[in-house]
Amino acid sequence: MTAESPLAIEASGLVKTFGETRAVDGVDLAVPTGSVYGVLGPNGAGKTTTIRMLATLLRPDAGSARVFGHDIVREADAVRGSVSLTGQLASVDEELTGRENLILLGRLLGHGIPAARERADELLDAFGLEASAGKLVKNYSGGMRRRLDIAASIVVTPRLLFLDEPTTGLDPRSRNQVWEIVRLMVSAGTTILLCTQYLEEADQLAEGIAVIDRGRVIAEGTPAQLKASVGAGSLHVRLLDPAQRPQAERVLSARIGTTHLEVDPAALSTPCGDADQAAEAIAELGRNGIAVAGFSLGQPSLDEVFLALTGRPADEDAETATTEERVA
């Protein structure tokens, strides 16, 4: 029932209420062992609260969940023995050095002092932090802090790692480093529950994705299934002169399809998955004397996923829920 369990996480009907807000409102999850499972949703959707319940930091108000077959409430200690958490706030001690953080965790996990030191040095080397090992973490850059945070999560390699928005606020290079570490960990056998706001991140890393909104799972599937249900992506165009936007809208609508005016008065976008079609449309804008400042053809954003799945943008109503979650 423990080692043989094919599911790393099985949650059914998890509920957590903070005051009037139902932060998590009946979440079901089935995460297979040995994969990255993405939980995709905007701020305040209930991602962090779900992770905190699964990591035994919060008690669910209703529903139940098992991690490798252990009940998260009744067998919390057994759960703690197989998971690690890299939280949204960096889960490292800013007032200690990087090396001290890792030694402290090694000792807390049961290593003697020499073994804890050795493990800390090994991780500092592997994560490219040896040069900053003696610096206080509060002086680390965002990327360094995140790497230390992940290193701290694998002082003892966990069977299940919770990663809560690991790349939010990171520059692209640091983000790629984090992704690389995640891939290596999965290939070494760790299961990862990844919470993210970025469809691209889930697409890059996860084999399965649950889209969560207002405390509920509203869609589930592989990244390909999800994208197929949403549409291939969008062509975003930014004009030099906002006055030309109505004209540009007519051209794009005729060439591609329904065109959406963005908040930026010089920008507009239209669903489009085909690069040739997009290039043709851009050329057509030029022939009509419409000056284009820039354009991009991208995967659907979280906003577009949400628009497709719920008929409303992702961040609507998120503000209040987020504050609730912080207060709690």
Q: Which residues bind another protein (CB under 8 A)?
A: 52, 55-58, 77, 80-81, 83-85, 87-97, 100, 104-105, 107-111, 115, 119, 122-123, 125-128, 130-131, 136, 147, 151-152, 154-157, 172-173, 176-177, 180-181, 184-185, 187-188, 190, 328
CA pair distance 56, 90, nearest whole angstrom: 18
Tokens of 23: 């932060």
- 136 φ, ψ to 5°? -65, 140
Nearest-approach distance from CB 275 to another protein, in angstroms? 20
| Tokens at 220, concatenated | 């589930």
- When the beta carbons of 125 and 319 are compared against another protein, the nearer one is 125
End-to-end CA distance of the chain: 34
Nearest CB to another protein, comparing residues 179 and 295: 179
CA atoms of 51 and 47, how far apart (whole Å): 6
Name the residue nearer to another protein (CB basis): 109 or 243.
109
CB of 302 to another protein, least distance (A): 22
Confirm if 280 and 288 have CB atoms less than 8 A apart. Answer: no
Residue bearing tokens 């699964």: 54
Output the smallest distance, CB 144 to another protein, in A.
9
Among residues 204 and 253, whose Cβ is nearest to another protein? Answer: 204
CA–CA gap between residue 65 and residue 118 (Å, rounded): 36
Instruction: Give the residue with the Cβ less far from another protein, 20 or 77.
Output: 77
Chain center to CA of 283 = 36
Q: How is residue 107 written in tokens? A: 């000792």
Of 66 and 245, CB closest to another protein: 66
Nearest distance in Å: CB 40, another protein: 22
Q: How does DSSP classify residue 233?
A: -
Smallest gap from Cβ 111 to another protein, in A, equals: 5
Minimum CB–partner distance for residue 155 and another protein (Å): 6
CB of 113 to another protein, least distance (A): 9
Query: Which DSSP string corresponds to 161-209?
Result: EEEESTTTT--HHHHHHHHHHHHHHHHTT-EEEEEES-HHHHHHH-SEE
Task: Give whichever of 79 and 268 is closer to another protein, judged by the CB atom.
Answer: 79
